């Protein structure tokens, strides 16, 4: 099972991925959680302490590893392998906590559009390997987009979750992501509404998502912010966090297990 989670910054992607990762692990799944967001917050959402995370370098920033695996040399114009060996990287560089393996992937900073560098080749090949070769449940906390995906990876994604909050800008970003995902061929796309605090919020979400596939709606909870401030997982801080996580897990598993697409599913274009 391969799940990618994206959405506008600040909507709660990392919190949701962390909740799902912990719930799935507690229910016996082998879980690999990938933080592919440059604003890396997934570790604390899973419950990894800052002390354990100190000194961990994102794969995308491991320049020496990228050069070693691709055979690249320093300087412009060097030739290198576009499909380097990556099968040992997830287990070698992951951080384990509460049954969850977490890999800090990061993103590659490009000098220009379309740049291909050793680090980019390493990250793209690694993601393709994880999505097509690894047998565990994979959860990817992505930035506001799907730039990591390319040929050979899109078809391996079982579900793309776009997280939204009750705000016009959030849905505007979500529609752009959904359109691009559809163009790339991702077939299962759904929304999760987060931080829903009032009847007005619920009405707004209902109106904005009436032509979308809304998987779940999660309430605003001050305990999420308290967990973030304390640097701990919402899953560990509150019983409500565990209950909410397992409820979302069941909803997700039901969707993945369903052979039929939702009858009313259509793009929010």
What are the tens digits of pLDDT across the range 152-191? Answer: 566 788 899 999 999 999 999 999 999 988 888 888 999 9
Rounded to an integer, the average pLDDT of 112-136 is 82
pLDDT above 70 coverage of the chain, percent: 87
| Residues sharing a CB contact under 8 Å with residue 32, sequence separation 6 or more, in sequence order | 90, 94, 100, 101, 102, 103, 130, 134, 136, 137, 138, 139
Query: Per the domain annotation, does 268 fall within a domain?
Result: no
Q: Is 261 a domain residue?
A: no
CATH of residue 25: 3.40.50.300
Express each pLDDT in 88-104 by its tens digit.
999 999 999 999 999 99
Which pLDDT score, from 0 to 100, does residue 33 have? 97
Q: What pLDDT is recorded for position 74?
A: 65
**Looking at residues 126-131, what average pLDDT do you find?**
92
Question: Which of 91-100, 102-111, 146-155, 228-237 shows the lowest per-residue confidence on average (mean pLDDT)?
Answer: 146-155
- At residue 32, what are phi and psi to the nearest 5 degrees? -120, 115
pLDDT of residue 13: 94
pTM of the model: 0.89
User: Per the structure, how many domains does the chain have?
Assistant: 1
Residue 239: name the closest of 221, 253, 255, 256 by CA. 221
Average the pLDDT over 196-205 and give the result. Answer: 97
pLDDT interval class at 19 (50, 70, 90): very high
Choose among 235, 76, 45, 22: nearest CA to 141: 45
Domain that holds residue 82: 2-255
**Tokens found for residue 172:** 């505007």
pLDDT of residue 118: 87
In a domain, 269, yes or no: no
267 occurs within a structural domain: no
In-domain check, residue 152: yes
Average pLDDT over residues 141-156: 72
Nearest 5°: phi and psi at 193?
A: -85, 135
pLDDT of res. 152: 58
Confidence grade of residue 20 (pLDDT, cut at 50, 70, 90):
very high
Sign of the torsion angle spanned by Cα atoms 245, 250, 253, 259: negative
Mean pLDDT, all residues of the chain: 87
Residue 262 in any domain: the answer is no
Q: Does residue 217 have a pLDDT over 90?
A: yes
In a domain, 105, yes or no: yes
């Amino acid at each position: 099972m391969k799940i990618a989670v994206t959405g506008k910054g600040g909507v709660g992607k990392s919190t949701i991925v962390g909740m799902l990762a912990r719930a799935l692990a507690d229910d016996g799944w082998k879980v690999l959680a990938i933080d592919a967001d440059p604003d890396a917050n997934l570790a604390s959402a899973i419950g990894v302490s800052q002390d354990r995370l100190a000194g961990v370098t994102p794969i995308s920033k491991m320049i020496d590893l990228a050069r070693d695996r691709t055979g690249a040399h320093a300087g412009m114009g060097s030739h290198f392998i576009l499909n380097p060996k990556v099968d040992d990287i997830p287990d070698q560089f992951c951080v384990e906590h509460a049954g969850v393996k977490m890999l800090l992937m990061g993103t590659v900073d490009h000098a220009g559009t379309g740049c291909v560098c050793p680090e980019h080749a390493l990250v793209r090949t690694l993601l393709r390997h994880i999505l097509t070769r690894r047998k565990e449940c994979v959860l990817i906390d992505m930035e506001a987009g799907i730039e990591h995906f390319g040929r050979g990876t899109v078809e391996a994604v079982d579900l793309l979750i776009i997280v939204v909050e009750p705000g016009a800008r959030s849905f505007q970003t979500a529609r752009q992501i959904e359109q691009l995902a559809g163009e790339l061929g991702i077939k299962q796309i759904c929304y999760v509404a987060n931080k829903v605090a009032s009847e007005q919020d619920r009405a707004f979400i209902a109106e904005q998502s009436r032509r979308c596939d809304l998987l779940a709606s999660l309430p605003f909870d001050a305990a999420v912010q308290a967990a973030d401030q304390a640097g701990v997982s919402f899953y560990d801080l509150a019983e409500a966090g565990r209950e909410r996580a397992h409820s979302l897990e069941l909803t997700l598993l039901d969707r993945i297990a369903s052979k039929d697409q939702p009858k009313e599913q259509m793009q929010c274009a």
